[in-house]
Amino acid sequence: MNPYASWRHALKGVFRIGQTTSIIAATGFAWATGDRLPTPRVLRLTFERLGATYVKLGQFIASSPSLFPAEYVTEFQHCLDKTEPLSFEIMRDVLERELKRPMHEVFSEVDEIPLASASIAQVHAAKLITGESVVIKIQKPGVEQVLLTDLNFLYVTALLLERVLPKLKFASLSGIVSEIQGCMMEEVDFYKEARNVEQFRAYLEATGNTQATAPRIYPEASSLRVLTMERFYGVPLTDLETIRKYTRDPAGTLVAALNTWFSSLMLCESFHADLHAGNLMVLTDGRLGFIDFGIVGRIAPDTWTATMAFIESLGDGDFKKMAESMALIGMTKRKVDNAQLALDLEAIYGAATTVDPLSIGGAMANDNEINKLMLEIVAVGERHGIRFPRAFALLLKQMLYFDRYIRILAPDMNLFDDDRISFLGDDSGGHKLLH
């Protein structure tokens, strides 16, 4: 990098830190002069004003109950990653700079109105010059520099706080920031996202799964900051009325989605860790479309086995088994007293009178109560020296998504009692997906 570019990046960094400081100061002033919303809500709204890094940080908090207080985890479930789109002229410049050629040499047409606009990228519909319908995910200019500046600022701040407040060092605040940095920087590397998609497609092919698919990637029209993918046509899995146009068996389609995802935990190099309704589609040909692999998780087979034992024990009310599973899942430097842990878990259930333990594995009656229960379980684990890996939190979050799908598409289904569902994967060619 030439010295002028270095100076330019440095000045942008200083400006960004100044911008961050001014927004935080304005929020503090508003709070001090009477606009006293609950602290978690103030923080969430401030994060949304601060942009990409802090929106992603908010989403990280929402999916990390083992690292953050329950009230913050709950509030950041509402953290919005939706921004005003940038002009197409700006995005065209990024596109042509990344692909190193004029746009018309790659695409015969590009819709200037984006399909979606988030903090990191916006998505445009297009057609390749070879005729294929595609979507182009284009990273917004300067996002990577902003992320690096913000995250380095947060890391230095964490180190200073750990020095001033030694208790925070015990909580490894700087270590948490480093983990966040690793997760976020993966999201701005579209080569990694492309690899995630290709790995999932390879897993589907290897298991003979023809009921699900993921978008084809077009490497010749992609780069570090541009990702061109096959365009899917269909509806979200939660749109029951429209789904009936594409499949005669919505419940069977859901079973196929569940088995595809559960099997990927064992048979794919990574699992889709953000499978909300917008990322799981029923295509017009009846197949399932898995999209947006920017956030993935990785879990060791033995950890997944312990996780399933843990989730099953929730439904059974088997506190001894729950305690043993938690000890196997979590990371701890001291011996866990499983007997006492079981008693503490039982006490949680005694207090959670509005939750039917038998409903947890199937149709959950109240999301808020379930989320609260999950957070309390995590908190009990922490008191016994257990810190859950992030993959565990992502798995639990996904189980909550699946519960919503079950209530819409198959309200009579019991997740753990339905013999059509295989939790531990199937290495026999995927023939159990619908049977």
Closest-CA residue to 232 (of 297, 278, 295, 296): 278
- Here the tokens at position 428 are 């026999």
Phi, psi of 9, deg, nearest 5 = -65, -40
**Residue 227 CA: distances (Å) to CA of 93, 94, 108, 215, 268:** 15, 12, 17, 11, 22
| Cα distance between residue 147 and residue 225, in whole Å | 14
Which entry of 274, 292, 344, 403 is annotated as an active-site residue?
A: 274
- If you write DSSP's letter for every residue of 195-207 in order, what string do you get? HHHHHHHHHHHHT
| Cα distance between residue 174 and residue 47, in whole Å | 19
Task: Please answer whether residues 112 and 88 qualify as being in contact, where contact means their C-beta atoms are separated by less than 8 angstroms.
Answer: yes
100 phi-psi bin (left φ>0, alpha ψ -120 to 50, beta other): left
Task: Please answer whether residues 394 and 297 qualify as being in contact, where contact means their C-beta atoms are separated by less than 8 angstroms.
Answer: yes
Q: Is 274 an annotated catalytic residue?
A: yes
Give catalytic residue positions. 274
